[in-house]
Structure 1
């Protein structure tokens, strides 16, 4: 099990400090593998006890066991780069980007989605994993340029609460890689039954989430990395489709404004 998998597994139990610590370690794993808990704490600007609590939340007995894990993780990543040459080339990413753009431009429901952004009383967004959540946060930041507030749902607990209070006057966006609904299936079905407009953002495939949603946005993913079972370009193309959505919405607003003048 790699660090990214652990983040997704225990995501609902992690607070902002935990995510900050794990994100730092994940991005600097070669540097962190020989660091003491005090050194990691100093680099993250948190206390050593916070680091220890975080490691326990993701299934370790304490920092010593976690340190051993990240040493193995660093070695595994280094070996993977040598043996597989990262199993990835720029041509693969380029293909994913081109296909994602093609999928977006071929979507016939974009105007309806843009209208929902304007008329919905509340707009909520839920990412099924850590990376998806980060991409939605960036999308949320962009929408603020148009005075539209996107409520990011941080965990399944909050999604369950919102599923009880959300109304047909609201809008829900759910971003996922696989499109599998899993443990949130009942909540999503409850939302759909209430006739709440729902937008799925998933990899291009037949999937449960896309089937439930009223509108589907897709991004292209070519293959999974053999070492960590994650796609090298999935976050890139997810970010791309959300960026295209924002730019399309911006153009839509500009055209409406021009039509009024």
Structure 2
């Protein structure tokens, strides 16, 4: 993505609002190259001042300088073939940057206190993530259940305790079945964490805690779009290591 290098260079100066703006620009590049600051602020649900501060944080003199950069870099990238390996490395690096912001004490406390941890994925690939996460979390000697549809969720809600933890795994955070799922969890006052790509989305807004990863879509030589879920696995592997460290240090009893 065109802003990734700048975002990584100035990552510590950026807040979540800035990251949402960056994601919008990366995914709407052609429109943003000719967009006025007022329109960009409206599209990102921010303000002119927020956009201006964002561009300054990335090292630009202002919005006009920033737009010139977008046009130049876009033309430059168009001339070159995309290096998918470098892009993949960048994607993983971005995920570790995002995961550095996760409150692992909170996540591991919730897992440790739960009688049962429930995992739900919104699609086939997300369900594969849930099943691999189940294998990882079982090493913590916890009761881990993968939920395969809304009907199974309704069944477990009747017996889930207030200490139980739900993970909802989604790529966009906007899947058609999510409103019913999040409404059920909120109605029963169940604590749930969302795992999505970094952008403003309905699931992240409703979750008690949000985890963001990087997952960029690219196109295969036959035109098929492909999104990697390896960074979702990285999150659960990271949680396991934090959990193990806290057990060894006597922080979790």
TM-score of the two chains, using structure 1 as the length reference: 0.60
> What is the alpha-carbon distance in structure 2 between the residues aligned to residue 225 and residue 193 of structure 1?
40
How much does 1:164 deviate? 4.6
How much does 1:149 deviate? 2.2
How much does 1:126 deviate? 0.3
- 1:228 matched to 2:224? The reply is yes
- 1:91 matched to 2:95? The reply is no
Task: Give unmatched runs, 5+ long, in structure 1.
Answer: 1-85
Map 1:1-261 → 2, pairs under 5 A: 89-107=84-102, 109-225=103-219, 227-231=223-227, 234-256=228-250
CA 1:212/1:98 → structure 2, altered by over 3 Å: closer, same or farther? Answer: same
> What is the alpha-carbon distance in structure 1 between the residues aligned to residue 108 and residue 233 of structure 2?
18
Q: Conserved in 2, the CA contact under 8 Å of 1:218 and 1:241? A: no
3-state SS of 1:172 partner? strand
3-state SS of 1:230 partner? strand
Q: Conserved in 1, the CA contact under 8 Å of 2:122 and 2:177? A: no
3-state SS of 1:146 partner? coil
How much does 1:193 deviate? 2.8
> What is the alpha-carbon distance in structure 2 between the residues aligned to residue 172 and residue 181 of structure 1?
17
Q: Conserved in 2, the CA contact under 8 Å of 1:176 and 1:202? A: yes
Higher helix share: 1
How much does 1:146 deviate? 2.0
3-state SS of 1:180 partner? coil
CA 1:167/1:149 → structure 2, altered by over 3 Å: closer, same or farther? Answer: closer
Runs of 4+ in 1 over 4 A off after TM superposition: none
CA RMSD of aligned residues (A): 2.3
CA 1:105/1:244 → structure 2, altered by over 3 Å: closer, same or farther? Answer: same
How much does 1:98 deviate? 0.5
Number of residue pairs matched?
171
How much does 1:87 deviate? 6.2
3-state SS of 2:194 partner? strand
Q: Conserved in 2, the CA contact under 8 Å of 1:87 and 1:225? A: no
Q: Conserved in 2, the CA contact under 8 Å of 1:180 and 1:208? A: yes
